[in-house]
């Protein structure tokens, strides 16, 4: 079950970290139209044993609000995701709700770009992504337009999926 974000001291910034964790090895956070214009700082627990049983934390899923023209939400990775199973998912409410591009820039300045034509509802970012990577999400009322720039030691760290 998703849990709404609670907390933060700056109206324009929210921080998502281990303090938002409820149980298990994943975290799902609902965002709302009231989050328009905010920058979400992602401080990924990155493999930490939050449960205390040796289970590594893996995935944060950020659930975008229902489509509404003019909504804009930004995400900034403020910690490195480099454990073998770490992931960040940005998810729109329905299939076919997302269109966009992902550019991954590797340390040697090689890069890879991916584009989706609107047949998906989730951006998936996998481990080995550095702080400073960012995702911009803007809605025109019919689709969420997503543009991700990822910094990594190697290319191909992001993808789109219909889930």
Other residues' Cβ atoms within 10 Å of the Cβ of residue 66: 12
* Each residue's pLDDT tens digit, 67-121: 999 999 999 999 998 887 889 999 999 989 999 999 999 888 888 888 888 889 9
- What is the reported pLDDT for 109? 83
The structural domains of the chain, with segments of one domain joined by +, span 3-161
Burial of 56 (0-12, 13-18, 19+ CB in 10 A): middle
CA distances from 93 to 16, 40, 61 (A): 20, 18, 12
Q: What is the mean pLDDT of the segment spanning 139-158?
A: 91
DSSP conformation letters of 58-93: -EEEEEPPSP-TT-EEEEEE-S-B-STT-EEEEE-S
| 12 vs 75, higher pLDDT | 75
Two tokens, residue 84: 């073998």
Asked whether the predicted pLDDT for residue 15 surpasses 60, the reply is: yes
**Residue 133: what pLDDT?**
95
Residue pLDDT, tens place only, 38-53? 999 999 888 888 878 8
Identify the residue with better confidence: 32 or 128.
32
95 CB burial (10 A radius; 0-12, 13-18, 19+): middle
Place of tokens 């550095």: 130
pLDDT for the residue 10:
64
**pLDDT of res. 52:** 84
Question: Is the pLDDT confidence value at 8 over 80?
Answer: no
Higher pLDDT among residues 6 and 51, named by residue? 51
Mean pLDDT for all residues in the chain: 88
What is the pTM (predicted TM-score) of this model? 0.87
Which of residues 2 and 32 earns the better pLDDT score? 32
Q: Is the pLDDT of residue 1 over 80?
A: no
């Amino acid at each position: 079950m998703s849990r709404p974000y609670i907390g933060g001291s700056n109206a324009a910034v929210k921080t998502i970290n281990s303090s938002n964790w409820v149980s298990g090895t994943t975290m799902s956070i609902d965002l709302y139209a009231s989050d328009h214009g905010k920058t979400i700082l992602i401080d990924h627990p990155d493999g930490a044993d939050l449960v205390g049983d040796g289970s590594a934390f893996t995935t944060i899923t950020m659930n975008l609000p229902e489509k509404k023209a003019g909504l804009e939400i930004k995400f900034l990775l403020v910690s490195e995701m480099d454990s073998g199973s770490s992931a960040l998912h940005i998810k729109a409410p329905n299939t076919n709700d997302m269109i966009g591009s992902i550019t991954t820039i590797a340390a040697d300045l090689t890069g890879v770009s991916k584009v989706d034509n609107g047949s998906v509802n989730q951006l998936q970012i996998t481990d080995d992504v550095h702080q400073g990577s960012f995702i911009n999400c803007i809605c025109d009322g019919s689709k969420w337009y997503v543009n991700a720039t990822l910094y990594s030691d190697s290319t191909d760290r992001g993808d789109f999926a219909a889930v």
